[in-house]
Amino acid sequence: MSAPRAGIAIVNFRAGELTVGCLRSLEAEVRASSRGLVVYVVDNASGDNSSRVIVDAIEQHGWSDWVTFLQSPVNGGFAAGNNIAIRRMLEDFPAIEHVVLLNPDTVVRPNAIAILMDFMAAHPEVGIAGGRSEDPDTTPQVCCFRYPNLVSEIANRLRLGLLDRVIGPYRTHVPTPEAPVQIDWVSGACMIIRRKVIDAIGLMDEGYFLYFEETDFIIRALRAGWTCWHVPQARVIHFVGQSTGVTTKGKRNLRAPGYWYQSRRRYFVLNHGLAFTLMTDTAVIAAGCLWKIRELFGARSENAKEYELRDFLMNSTLIRQGRGLAPRRVA
């Protein structure tokens, strides 16, 4: 394929069948596209049969002219896996104009990638845009957000419905709009990045294993002068948590993995400084203690995680300060 305009990066970890389903949903758009699309699938050292499932599907369906499979020797996380794909696609096709990040547990609705590319072409000031994630029955999922802040962090732990309504402008979750809108950040499950953004700020920070990496990338892009938009007309089905097992619907109270807390601490310290993060962490722990008292009197929340307060404290800056936070790795 000569001079594709966009490259799609998919990072697989023990989700071979889901990844094949994602590729299948892309085939019609890739074949029909006059824009030129290529796909790079990275297996993040799954250690199961994922690689064989994906490679066999590529061969059986004749996808090798637009899908490149790459095997990572280690599981470096979401950012590292995407960076492997991006480096290779830019090496193979130096003139690529856009990079699309796509989760393996997505099914792409017709023309979703074309809609994102057309939006970027019509808005040269936009550096990043995200599509709409939805359930198979088209129920919209939360996929565009405001940046985490002190008020939202406290409210998330207090879990007072009235407070959530009062702090509306500070809430991180934003109801899914019906028209394109500028927003702080969008989900990395379906996100297009202008090549010029990568040239300006580098790749994603591989210091994040999973979570907060797209938030960090987008805030870096904003500081370089690029805006971020949500484009709801570009739609993908997202089987939430199927590729990670962390946020699976119906299992919201599962214990959050340690890397979630570590990624959160990294994001706050790198972007807001240690002093601000110490203040925020102290407030969050105090709010968490109040929640535990409310639980004693029967309060319940579907968003409360097992061992949440203890895990937060042990990974907070009150205990760890800034230790273990390597400088950004974005080359």
Residue 147 included in any domain: no
Is 245 contained in some domain? no
Over residues 191-198, the mean pLDDT reads 98
Return the pLDDT at 1.
Answer: 52
CB contact at 8 A, 40 and 88: yes
- pLDDT value for 94: 95
Q: Is 234 in the same domain as 262?
A: no
Residue 65 tokens read as: 């002219």
Token representation of residue 43? 């297996």
Q: In CATH, what number is assigned to the domain containing residue 180?
A: 3.90.550.60
Averaged pLDDT score across all residues of the chain:
93
Q: Give a yes or no: residue 166 inside a domain.
A: no
pLDDT tens digits for 82-134?
A: 999 999 999 999 999 999 999 999 999 999 999 999 999 999 999 999 999 99
The 3-state secondary structure of 127-171 reads EEEEEEEECCCCCECCCEECCCCHHHHHHHHHCCHHHHHHCHHHC
Give the SS3 label for residue 193: strand
Please indicate, yes or no, if residue 284 is contained in any of the structural domains. Answer: yes
Distance CA 247, CA 190 (A): 17
pLDDT band of 327, cuts 50, 70, 90: confident
4-9: average pLDDT: 96
User: Same domain for 186 and 316?
Assistant: no
35 — pLDDT class (breaks 50, 70, 90): confident
Does 130 reside within a domain?
yes
Do 29 and 77 lie in one domain? The reply is yes
Residue 89 tokens, joined:
């696609």
Share of the chain above pLDDT 90, in %: 82
pLDDT digits (tens, 9 = 90+) for 228-245: 999 999 999 999 876 655
Q: For residues 180 and 295, state if they share a domain.
A: no
User: pLDDT class for 303, splitting at 50, 70, 90?
Assistant: confident
Number of domains in the chain: 2
Q: Is there a single domain that holds both residue 189 and residue 308?
A: no
Domain end marker among 238, 267, 284: 238
Strand partners, 173: 145
Residue 1 lies in a domain: no
β-strand partners of 126: 227
* pLDDT score recorded for residue 247: 55
pLDDT score recorded for residue 168: 80
Return d(Cα 210, Cα 120) in angstroms, integer. Answer: 27
Same domain? For 137 and 56 the reply is yes
Q: What is the mean predicted confidence (pLDDT) over 310-327?
A: 91
Same domain (yes/no): 34, 88 = yes
**Does 113 reside within a domain?**
yes
Give the structural domain span for 10: 6-141+176-238
pTM above 0.85, yes or no: yes
pLDDT higher than threshold 60 for residue 149? yes
Q: What is the DSSP letter of 305?
A: P
